[in-house]
Amino acid sequence: MQKRLTVLGALLVLVTASVSTQDSAILADEAAVVAVAATAAVESVSFSLDTIWLFLGAILVFIMQAGFALVETGLTRAKNATNITMKNVMDFCFGAIAYWAIGWGIMYGKDKGGLIGIDQFFFSPMNFDEEAGVFYRTWFFQVVFAATAATIVSGAMAERTKFKSYLIYTVFISALIYPIEGHWVWSPNGWLAQLGFHDFAGSTVVHSVGGWAALIGAAVLGPRIGKYVKGADGKIGAKAFPGHNIPFACLGTLLLFFGWFGFNGASTGTALGGGSLWSGMNIAHVCVTTTLAAAAGAIAAMFASWVMFKKPDCSMTLNGLLAGLVAITAPCAVVSPGASLVIGCIGGLLVVFSVEFIDKVLHIDDPVGAISVHLANGIWGTLAVGIWANAPQDGVVGILHGGGFAQLGYQTIGVLAVGAWTVVSSLILFVAIKLIIGLRVSPKEELRGLDICEHKADAYSGFQIFSNT
């Protein structure tokens, strides 16, 4: 009897152990499934949040098109207002298609020697997976940057450029000029990226490119009729053509300021993560430095104009604010709030002196100061990285924080390389347009105004425009 009980007990233990082992295996399998599902859910939420953040940022940058239109319209004469708003609408429309068809592939396609992308032209993935999602959200964010680079040129060439000629230029900058240098800097394998050049959101990639092209375009085009007049003493004097609507210019500047939080803030590329410049933890820092630099630029320009012209000049103050924004665009993620104040202040002073130099010394007619805002301060902001940068975790350290002159050297090489490419390509393009179809309207059309001559539409119907110059 005892032996039977012993055997039964042993069997019971074996059965219990077997059931326990099976339950443990089931529980382990269930835990693994839950862990996989949790990981997938976290990745899905992360992907969705990043997508939403980039789309919000892109929408903010898109609003800058309205800002540019209002600034340019307000700082020029009433007889050209329709022409200017048309340019700012259509350069995005033409540029978006050109960037999708060609520009994206050159900028972010498969790298060839660190110089250019060679695939993803007319890229149209139709599958609903992560690869397609990353392309669409990144393309949408990048196309508004391409449009910004193109529209900068409009202001410097305002009031005397043929509409069709401007559209041709827009297509080329969006499809070719901007994407090539953009590949050098923002593609992971681009040669400037590999060198160590840092441009967080585009002081050089976007703004100085637009500024260089604006400089070449305005020089090839020539000044507006009556802008530069030789006096009795033989000296050439610059005549001011006041803008017709300063409130427009002010509203446009504030829209640009608003959009810049997407321009700089969303350049983190993600809404999540920490420990890196390219993470959601850096968004607030970027927006703070952006705000302070803009404020400092406006204040510095206002006081500089007050001293130079005996009155605080509104248009100079507005350009000072924009100068601060352009200057902080490259270093916004790697400098402190204190440094951003200094960078913006210098930018505000620089724009005032640059406008005077370009107008009265070089005699290049830039109706809105686009060259001074975007070129002078695009260069300044890029070089400022090499002075004030303090991001050792990402290998970007300037002179003032013990990094030596290495980063400043990388920044200088980037400024020179991008400048040389843009100057040469823009010069070829503008000269070719001038020789083939013409770049400038006739003197009669310029004096009458581009609204009537180019579009058969009056921006202010029923109001008499008395000035013809």
User: pLDDT by residue (tens digit) across 216-275?
Assistant: 999 999 999 999 998 888 889 999 999 999 999 999 999 999 999 999 999 999 998 777
Token pair recorded at residue 5: 């009980």
Q: Collapsing DSSP states into helix, strand and coil, what is residue 228? A: strand
What is the architecture of the domain spanning 2-76+196-455? Orthogonal Bundle (1.10)
User: pLDDT by residue (tens digit) across 360-417?
Assistant: 999 999 999 999 999 999 999 999 999 999 999 999 999 999 999 999 999 999 999 9
Tell me which residue has tokens 């321009």: 263
Q: Collapsing DSSP states into helix, strand and coil, what is residue 61? A: helix
Token pair recorded at residue 179: 């994407």
User: pLDDT by residue (tens digit) across 72-124?
Assistant: 999 999 999 999 999 999 999 999 999 999 999 999 999 999 999 999 999 99
User: pLDDT by residue (tens digit) across 13-56?
Assistant: 444 445 455 555 565 555 555 555 556 556 678 888 999 999 99
The pLDDT assigned to 281 comes to 87
CA distance 141 to 33: 36
CA distance 68 to 256: 7
Name the burial class of residue 6, with classes exposed (0-12), middle (13-18) and buried (19+) by CB atoms within 10 angstroms of its CB.
Answer: exposed
The torsion of the CA quartet 115, 118, 122, 127, rounded to 10 degrees, works out to -110
Burial 334-345 (b: 16+ CB within 10 A, else e): bbeeebbbbbbb
CA distance 171 to 318: 29
The pLDDT assigned to 19 comes to 45
Give Cα 429 to chain centroid, integer Å.
22
Backbone angles phi, psi at 351, to 5 degrees: -65, -35
Is the Cβ–Cβ distance between 169 and 433 less than 8 Å?
yes
CA distance 353 to 369: 11
Per the DSSP assignment, residues forming a β-bridge with 202 are none
Token pair recorded at residue 232: 């009795």
CA distance 233 to 218: 27
User: pLDDT by residue (tens digit) across 270-288?
Assistant: 998 777 888 888 999 999 9
CA distance 212 to 381: 15
pLDDT of 295 > 70? The answer is yes
Is the Cβ–Cβ distance between 439 and 221 less than 8 Å?
yes
Give Cα 145 to chain centroid, integer Å.
5
Range with the poorest average pLDDT among 22-31, 198-207, 230-239, 419-428: 22-31
Token pair recorded at residue 137: 């959200």
User: pLDDT by residue (tens digit) across 124-167?
Assistant: 999 888 889 899 999 999 999 999 999 999 999 999 999 999 99
CA distance 322 to 211: 13
Nearest to 329 by CA among 244, 266, 407: 266
Per the DSSP assignment, residues forming a β-bridge with 396 are 391
The pLDDT assigned to 12 comes to 47
pTM: 0.90
The pLDDT assigned to 31 comes to 56
One-character DSSP codes across 332-391: TTTS-HHHHHHHHHHHHHHHHHHHHHHHHTS----TT-HIIIIIIHHHHHHHHHHHH-EE
Helix crossing, 406-436 with 178-186: angle to 10°?
170
Mean pLDDT value of segment 290-311: 98
Percent of the chain with pLDDT over 90: 81
Mean pLDDT value of segment 423-430: 98
Q: Give the list of residues 6+ apart from residue 172 with CB closer than 8 angstroms, or none.
A: 98, 429
Q: Collapsing DSSP states into helix, strand and coil, what is residue 237? A: strand
pLDDT of 5 > 50? The answer is no
Mean pLDDT value of segment 204-218: 98
- Can you give 253-277 as a three-state secondary structure string? HHHHHHHHHHHHHHHHCCCCCCCCC
Is the Cβ–Cβ distance between 243 and 75 less than 8 Å?
yes
User: pLDDT by residue (tens digit) across 326-364?
Assistant: 999 999 999 999 999 999 999 999 999 999 999 999 999
**Amino acid type, 358:** I
Give Cα 285 to chain centroid, integer Å.
18
Token pair recorded at residue 376: 């002078």
Q: Give the list of residues 6+ apart from residue 155 with CB closer than 8 angstroms, or none.
A: 68, 71, 72, 75, 214, 366, 367, 368, 369, 370
